[in-house]
Structure 1
Amino acid sequence: MRTRAWVLYCLKRFEESADDGLRAHQLDPYNAEICNNLGLALRRLRRNDEALAWFEKAIEIEPRFADAFDNRLVALFHLHRFDELFALSDRMRSLGLSNEVTAWNVSLAHLLTGNFGAGWRGHQTRSKLPSSRYPRFQQPMWLGEESVAGRTILIAADEGLGDTIHFARYIPKLAEQGARVLLAVQDPLHLLMSNLSGASRCVPMSAMGTLPAFDLHCPISSLPLAFKTRLDTIPSEPYLPSPPGSLVQAWETRLGPRTRLRVGLAWSGDPSHVNDETRSIPLRTLSRILDVDADFVSLQKAPRPHDAAVRERSDIVDLTAELTDFTDTAALIGCLDLVITVDTSVAHLAGALGRPTWILLPWTPDYRWLLDRTDSPWYPSVRLFRQTETREYESVLDRIRDELRALAAGFGH
């Protein structure tokens, strides 16, 4: 029964896994691993209060069960019980049970709660995680402790597309310090970033094997640490180059006459993202805003099969087959009055272009959106629409629909 529960968990059949896990516990009530795995299934079902109790039971049975401690810490994170989380982290350290995963999760809690000093330092732990993508270089890593004047520094992408867009805001600041900046980004971002202010040269990650000489390097996600970023020192002005006017005009022609408010939509991100189930939404859920008197334009590349069927039955304008890279997407966004999106690369692209953007956020968002705010210190043109403790998007979309109706009613007046 225990093995079956774990197999079901690995198959993402979390309800069945939890049911079998409970039966396994009844048969073997002093097995800490069963308790821990049951907690994992409940956490994936967003039943964090129940999951927390099972992680605690696992620790009662096996007081040095490191995985159960880490899982308990994550449950506290999703319950927004941060004081308990930091106390648990201290306890784990005193017991010698802390590891890179612990430090990473604690750093996210610091950043989410606005403690940037501890957060950016802990954020460096990502290089020690199994998921780390950052290459190894012989040249020294720069983290802001020495002058870069007159030196060539490689700034390389090390996380997702949205992260690269988000942290590219620091490239002009490096150039201001006299550095020659060599920027390496994911291939779909290469053309867009090639004209970024401050970048002497931009190369795609696929060409990393033929880089020109450089003196120093820094992961792009380490730039906030290198610049000792605080909430009040975030570089927040729009920083991405505007797409060529001819490209914007080509998209205007595709879209046709502008007679109503134009609203871009993106509703899902990378399905392999660890928090995809909380940040992405089905198009059928987003459809509750589609009765507003506006023209809706898809910004959603590669929709999931169930979303594609809903889209075909809707009036959403879908020209995404003609989006070849992020420069095209930026040009299309330039033709819109508003972008409504979940937390994905489109949100960062629109925000970095300074376009009006409304972002739907889960109850526990990515750290950069902080807590309880409706604005973003990173992107002045962004408004944040958050889930409440009910952790559902329907009420969030009802709020958006009301505001969107008012905006649409005033279009052209």
Structure 2
Amino acid sequence: MSNPSADPSGPPLRSVFTANLPEIFRQLGISLVVSTYQAGKVILVRHDEVAGGINTHFRDFEKPMGIAVKGNRLGIGGANTVWEYRNVPAVAARLEPRGKNDACYLPRHIHITGDIDIHEMAWAKDDRLWLVNTRFGCLCTLDVDHSFYPRWRPPFISALAPEDRCHLNGLAMVDGEPRYVTALGETDTHAGWRSNKASGGILMDVASNKVVLRGLSMPHSPRWYRGKLWVLESGQGSLVTVDTVKGTWETVAKLPGFTRGIDFIGPLAFIGLSKVRESAVFSGIPIVADLAERICGVWVLNIETGEVLGFLRFESGVEEIFAVQLLHHTRFPDMLEWNDPLLGISYVLPDEALAEVVMPSEAELAERPQTYMTRGLERFRQGDYEQAVACFREVLNREPGYPDATYSLGVALAETGALQESLDCLLSALAKEPDRAKIHHSLANLYSRLRQPREAIRAAGKAIERQPDLAAAHVSLAVMLLQSGNYKRGFDEYEWRLKTGQVAVLQSPNPRWDGAAVAEKTVLLYVEGNDVRHGILLARYVPKVRSLCAKLLILCSDDLAPLLAVIPGVSEIRHPGSISVADYDVHVSIDSLPLLFNTTPETIPDLFPYIDIETLKKRKNTEALRLPDRTADSALDPAPVRKVGVVWSPQPGADGDGHVACPFDVFQAVFTVPGIQFYNLHSCDDSELTATLSRLPVDDVESKIKDYADLALLIDQMDLLVGVDCPAVHIAGALGKPVWVLQGDISSWYWPTLSSSTPWYPQARLFQQPQPGDWKGLIREVKQALSQ
């Protein structure tokens, strides 16, 4: 069963789960808290009795890792902070929709630790919170006077130093006291543990200062449960039990991922699984050799039999999990963010004070501006922008000066397409708070959509002046500068994308390539995350990179690999998890190449086609990918039929995204142009849409496509491709094919503002909406052009 997330920011977060998982949650009366530092999220995994499935609810955190739960207390360790929450059930009763939530965790305290690389955490019986301080290689606690208070470190660590000498990571409590820890090495030098990750892991007894086990593969998450010590041997993808007297361990089960994060209830263990990313950290461990494909999710295991009972698997957006913690007797919890207006009207008082408190009724609370504000923010997070607008309007009707309501209304209006009213709101908010960076940033994005590039650039600059480290504003400025042709400053600013937390950055001890000649070395070029478009667009730089090095490796997804493999200059294609740090000398993102080569509009590599289609034909079954050879059947019309490929949406399920996707009911007007055979390249799971296509002069060839190389072979047979910004239009461009690109009111940096052409694909024609959001006017222009 599938479970898409409604989180409107960042990449799509999709998951699937076994059909029995909701019933497991229901019978046990539980929910889960899961942290993923890779995605920057804390995930509440809950059984939704109304929808009848598993609901994954995401909250943004900066590098969340360790999670500690004790009673109504919830602690989360982050990049340089520890957040403490308390469950206040009375607040849960006021969340929308009423009666659904049975727990609500309110932020109560934040402690700044500095960057100590917090791993596991646990509350002791005296209510002190213990942290695994990985950076300094010690266990520590917190107090109001210090960043942290060191309590214990392995005897082989000679000094406290921020050097991650042994990668201390896991903590097991016994009778409410710290007792066992795991580390990835018994080493006392800076990052010394990295040299023997495959078998250098240890388990230690804190009480005796003795090593209980050696020879483990990246062990994590020790736990004392049912009188036994359990450990995740992550490098093996397994759960083991430990005999602490004999110093031996026994495997209970092996699972299809890097095991990390575990909690127990009855005979069941809930275990976190992670994909292994690139292998600068994970190279050489057994799981890389044993499993070609590793999975991310939470697996439910019977610890008595070793049988897998069910799982939740993340299909996109989440690739690594750190901590998994059960919330007992809590079926549908929520967490309030630090700026949630509901915090302003939520109070927890001592029992003796409650008798003197007079609180408004539920009906009165429901009509207060704060309630509508909270409801509006929640609707916005869920992507229900029309309802969010209605809530924010109601806030301002009741209290015109309510903080943030005007700004929030402006942002929500922009999402509904009401751009001019959105502009009025944002300018009104700016008049009240002229130094607030995020208002200037929102205005910059809005001006860009309104096709006012000068105002957009000016507003982005003002946002940066007021908050120089606002990475998102730098990236917005970069896009606007590049669209305006200012490549020198634009590509400098574009490097800020690496600091947004929304880009998959290769973590490697090897140096980043600076563009200089490295005649004897191997360069690793990687595609950031899943942005296939950029991988295809910028693959044109491969020959230039290859001319400066001895060998060029490309790291990319499996579906993109066959296409990039035929780019002249590629020595070898590697997949995430299949490359060792020893395989290359320097690395760089493909998105950084225009900056390294000082690209200007005049110096963009233009060797078209730069995909070797003839080599691709030799490697693929071209007969299976042949397009129907249609010509006019009537003797009165012997002219050959033109072959035109079409893509109206960048991905399945994105039809409702009016910024990029053209609604099908508007796009289908192009199919009325005579003399053309259209070919649908858009993945379609909608049976009603499939039925509609069957009645139109459209051949659905999408089912032939297994990877992007197949897509290229299909496009090569066409006379023209017409589509929104998606991998298909970039493949057409790379092949030197005529391509018409349909622009929404938000577009990428390589499509110039107010232009019908782009220097990146000279054979491309850009179609702009007559007015922002006017897809009908754009399609009328496309129809006229096709007719001609």
Give the structure-1-normalised TM-score. 0.90
Q: Distance in 1 between matches of 2:570 and 2:550?
A: 9
Q: What number of residue pairs does the alignment pair up? A: 403
| Greater mean alpha carbon deviation, residues 135-144 or residues 46-55 | 46-55
Inter-partner Cα distance in structure 1 for 2:438 and 2:660: 25
Matching of residue 314 in structure 1 with residue 696 in structure 2: yes
Q: In structure 1, the residue corresponding to 2:572 is in which secondary structure?
A: strand
Deviation digits for residues 333-374 of structure 1, max 9, x if unmatched? 122111111111111011101112111112442210112322
Aligned to 2:453: 82
Which residue pairs with 1:410 in the alignment?
none
* Change in 2 beyond 3 A, CA 1:260/1:247: farther
- 1:396 maps to what in 2? 778
- Work out whether residues 514 and 596 of structure 2, in 8 Å CA contact, stay in contact via their aligned partners in 1: yes
Match of 1:298 in 2: 680
Are 1:362 and 2:744 an aligned pair? yes
Which structure is higher in RCO with an 8 Å CA cutoff and minimum separation 6? 1
Segment of structure 1 superposing worse, 223-232 or 82-91 = 82-91
Distance 1:253 1:330, change over 3 A: closer
User: Is the counterpart of residue 347 in structure 1 residue 729 in structure 2?
Assistant: yes
Q: 2:602 aligns with which of 232, 238, 248?
A: 232
Q: Structure 1 residues 235, 254: CA separation in 2 closer, same or farther (over 3 Å shift)?
A: closer
Deviations along 1:154-206, one digit per CA (max 9) or x if unpaired, are 00001501110001100011112344211111211111111211111111235
Q: 1:7 aligns with which of 364, 371, 378?
A: 378
Hey, what does 1:197 align to over in structure 2?
A: 568
Tell me if the contact between 1:107 and 1:119 (Cα under 8 Å) persists in the aligned partners. yes
> CA deviation digits over 1:221-241, x for unaligned, max 9?
000001110000011222011
In structure 1, what is the equivalent of residue 628 of structure 2? Answer: 255
Secondary structure of 2:478's aligned partner? helix
2:711 matches 1:338: no
Letter in 2 for 1:261: R
CA separation of 1:263/1:172 partners in 2, compared to 1, >3 Å: closer, same or farther? same
Deviation at 1:390, TM superposition (A): 4.8
Of the three residues 507, 520, 524, the one matched with 1:136 is 507
- Deviations along 1:117-157, one digit per CA (max 9) or x if unpaired, are 0110111011111211122111111232x322222110000
Cα distance change of structure 1 residues 107 and 193 upon mapping to structure 2, 3 Å threshold:
same
Q: In the superposition, relative to structure 1, how do residues 205 and 50 fare at CA in structure 2: closer, same or farther (>3 Å)?
A: same
State the 1:401 CA deviation: 1.6
Structure 1 residue 95 displacement after superposition: 3.3
In structure 1, the partner of 2:420 is 49
Offset at residue 31 of structure 1 (A): 2.1
Question: Any idea what SS the aligned residue of 1:232 has?
Answer: coil
Aligned-partner Cα distance in 2 for 1:389–1:256 = 38
Asked whether the equivalents of residues 284 and 310 of structure 1 are also in contact (C-alpha less than 8 Å), the reply is no
Contact 1:248 1:331 in 2 (8 A): no
Query: Is structure 2 residue 548 aligned with structure 1 residue 177?
Result: yes
User: Match for 1:326 among 708, 719, 729?
Assistant: 708
Alpha-carbon distance in 1 for matches of 2:488, 2:468: 24
1:276 deviates by 4.2
1:28 pairs with 2:434: no
CA contact (8 A) 2:389 2:409 kept: yes
**Partner AA of 2:672 in structure 1:** D
Q: How big is each residue's C-alpha offset from its partner over 1:91-123, in whole Å with a ceiling of 9 and x where there is no partner? A: 344434651111111111111111000110111
Taking a change above 3 Å as real, the CA distance of residues 327 and 271 of structure 1, as seen in their structure-2 partners, is closer
| Structure 2 residue aligned with 1:374 | 756
How far did residue 21 of structure 1 move?
1.0
The 5 Å alignment of 1:270-281 reads 270=651, 276-281=657-662
Whole-angstrom CA distance in 2 between matches of 1:253 and 1:83: 47
C-alpha distance in 2 between matches for 1:252 and 1:405: 28
- In 2, the alpha carbon distance for the partners of 1:304 and 1:42 equals 29
Deviations 1:367-394 (A, max 9, x none): 1011232222111221111112253122
Deviation at 1:247, TM superposition (A): 4.5
Flag the 1:74–1:254 CA change in 2: closer, same or farther, 3 A. Answer: closer
Determine the C-alpha separation between the residues in 2 that align with 1:29 and 1:168. Answer: 52
Q: Call closer, same or farther: CA 1:97–1:230 in 2, change over 3 Å.
A: closer
**Corresponding residue for 1:244?**
617
How many percent of aligned residue pairs carry the same amino acid? 24
Matched-pair contact (CA < 8 Å) for 1:172–1:198: yes
Displacement after TM superposition at 1:54 (Å): 1.7
Cα deviation, residue 35, structure 1: 1.2
The residue type equivalent to 2:671 in the other structure is L
Q: Does 1:101 align with 2:472?
A: yes
Distance across 2 between alignment mates of 1:382 and 1:199: 26
Which has the larger displacement, 76-85 or 170-179?
A: 76-85
State how far apart, in whole Å, the 2-side matches of 1:89 and 1:177 are. 36
**Cα RMSD for the two superposed structures:** 2.3
C-alpha offsets along residues 285-339 of structure 1, whole Å, 9 cap, x if unaligned? 1111112221111111245566434323323111221211111111111221111
Quickly say closer, same or farther: Cα 1:153–1:191, change in 2 above 3 A.
same
Structure 1: 5+ residue stretches without partners: 407-413
Contact map agreement 2:556 2:573 (CA 8 A) in 1: yes
* Aligned residue type for 2:477: V
Distance 1:302 1:206 in 2: 31
Cα distance in 2 between the residues matched to 1:34 and 1:76:
20
Segment drifting more, 118-127 vs 82-91 = 82-91
Contact 2:670–2:783, Cα closer than 8 Å, also in 1: yes
| 2:744–2:768 Cα contact (<8 Å) kept | yes
User: Tell me, what secondary structure is at the counterpart of 2:770?
Assistant: coil
* Greater helix content: 1
Query: C-alpha displacement at 1:68, in angstroms?
Result: 2.4
1:63–1:358 distance in 2 versus 1, CA, 3 Å: closer
Contact 2:643/2:718 (<8 A) preserved: yes
Change beyond 3 A, Cα 1:360–1:161: same
Displacement of 1:3: 1.6
- For 1:336 and 1:219, locate their aligned partners in 2 and report how far apart those are by CA, in whole Å: 32
CA distance in 1, matches of 2:653, 2:627: 32
1:81–1:21: structure 2 CA closer, same or farther, 3 Å change rule?
same
Evaluate the alpha carbon distance shift between residue 306 and residue 161 of structure 1 in structure 2; reply closer, same or farther with a 3 A threshold: farther
CA distance change for structure 1 residues 139 and 253 in 2, over 3 Å: closer, same or farther?
closer
The answer to whether the Cα contact below 8 Å between 1:39 and 1:51 also exists between their aligned partners in 2 is yes
Tell me, yes or no, if the aligned pair for 1:103 and 1:122 is still in contact at 8 Å: yes
Task: Give the conservation status (yes or no) of the 8 Å contact 2:646–2:721.
Answer: yes
**Greater Rg, structure 1 or structure 2?**
2
**TM superposition shift of 1:405:** 2.2
For the 8 Å contact 1:32–1:61, the answer to whether it is kept is no
Deviation (angstroms), 1:70: 2.1
Deviation of 1:71 (Å): 1.5
CA contact (8 A) 2:483 2:752 kept: yes
Aligned CA distance change for structure 1 residues 254 and 83 (closer, same or farther; 3 Å): closer
Residue identity matched to 2:729: A
2:94 aligns with: none
Instruction: Please say which of residues 264-273 and 314-323 is displaced more in the overlay.
Output: 264-273
Distance in 2, matches of 1:303 and 1:211, equals 40
Q: Aligned partner of 1:223: which letter? A: L
CA contact 1:363–1:388 (8 Å) conserved in 2 = no
Residues of 1 paired with 2:678 and 2:651: CA distance? Answer: 22
